[in-house]
Amino acid sequence: MNEITSCSQPLVYFNQSGIIKSHAQYGMMNYTSNLYCEYIIKAPMNYKIIIHIEEVDLEETNSCIFDYLLITDEYYTNVYTYCGHQVKASHSIEMNTSQVYIIFGTDDANHGHGFLLKYETVENEALKSNNFYSCGLTFQLNEDVEYNNNKIESRIIGGELSRPGQWPWMVSVRENNQFRCGASLISSQWLLTAAHCFPKDVNLNNWTVHIGDFYLDWIDSEEVLMNISSIFIHPNYHLRKLYDYDYALIKTTLPIQYTSKRLPICILNSTLMNIDELDHCYVAGWGSSEDSPISNELRHLYIPLLNLTVCNQTEAYQGKLTETMICAGYIRGGKDSCQGDSGSPLMCQLHNTTDHVWYQIGIVSFGKSCAAAGTPGIYSNLTFVNNWISSIIQSYE
């Protein structure tokens, strides 16, 4: 087993088993003041994590508000908090998740010995048989849900007001705090958006991303502002080729803590990309038309997928669409994604399933005009870049 003995930065642990100590001098001297240590244990999908608590010796308080040890899953659905001398003998916590977060905090007085944990990862047959997912889960949309039915013609055209947390992977991308594009959270430190959202020479110091965003004009309860570490534009992207390969990946400077309103969306495997296999496709965003301001609230729109050949036969596109694109919307017009929705996800559920998992299949890219007849929206098709996304994340993780 390997030991984690430093808490100068969040530590991610991938080993099958390990030891986590409160501090490097555990067993020799008490821990120090004003610590905030984060440990993340990551196991393969369909694995569970078992935490063996060997010792907890921290400052005693009624609600563990001064010195504390917190153990939780990635969604904060199961939270275990310890302080004082609550653990008299070794006991275990079984977490049915592939990620566990451990947080250790101290104040400036009354320090104890600290804590000693051991962990192991074990394949979880229950999760495996139930086709467990750690992404794409949110509120289920259905016809019984009441929405604001005031049709708008200047944002997501013909769309409806979303609920806070309804699309927990939605991200607003901003330059000098001015909204520029939407994006989607696909893992704890990676976002997916459109390449055309960024100028050729990007000054990363001027750009931020807001994860868990809903209202653009104030900070929401679980909204997190992150700086950008890197932006990766697909190498085949060229603006002159009608937004072909309009894909970009954003890496944040720090990992994003998952909550019920900050969760990643699943990326659809390329072998499943068949229009007949997809149901309930939606696009969400803060977009506008040319003569109206950006929508302050997040909105969404049900949007049907269209045959690319049919769209290529319209006067608007005249055969210029490529296989890296998805055509979706209403040929008759009236409803559409629009300017400002760029970079936002096109997301669907799989046909004849009951798991309610959302998959991103596309990215809002461009359109001839907003909601006009014969000009449905065009989205970048993710099935052509699954390998590129994986290779970038693996290379720069």
Domains and CATH numbers, the chain: 2-125 (2.60.120.290), 160-396 (2.40.10.10)
| Active-site pick, 23, 113, 196, 210 | 196
| Active-site pick, 246, 288, 337, 380 | 246
| Active-site pick, 342, 344, 365, 380 | 342
The phi, psi pair for 50, rounded to 5°, reads -110, 125
Residue 85 CA to its chain's centroid (Å): 37
Tell me: the pLDDT tens digits for 106-142?
988 888 899 999 999 987 654 343 233 368 877 444 3
Q: What is the 3-state secondary structure (H, E, C) of 4-27?
A: ECCCCCCEEECCCEEEEECCCCCC
Tell me: the pLDDT tens digits for 7-27?
677 888 988 899 999 988 888
Catalytic annotation present for 187: no
Catalytic annotation present for 91: no
Catalytic annotation present for 355: no
The phi, psi pair for 181, rounded to 5°, reads -155, 165
CA separation for the pair 82, 64 (Å, rounded): 7
Tell me: the pLDDT tens digits for 308-353?
888 888 877 888 888 899 998 876 644 445 555 889 999 998 876 6
**Are the CB atoms for 282 and 362 separated by under 8 Å?**
no
What is residue 312's DSSP assignment?
Answer: H
* Mean predicted confidence (pLDDT) in 85-114: 84
Contacts of 22 (CB under 8 A, 6+ apart): 31, 37, 69, 104, 114, 115, 116
Tell me: the pLDDT tens digits for 181-237?
999 999 999 999 999 999 989 999 999 999 999 999 988 888 999 999 999 999 999
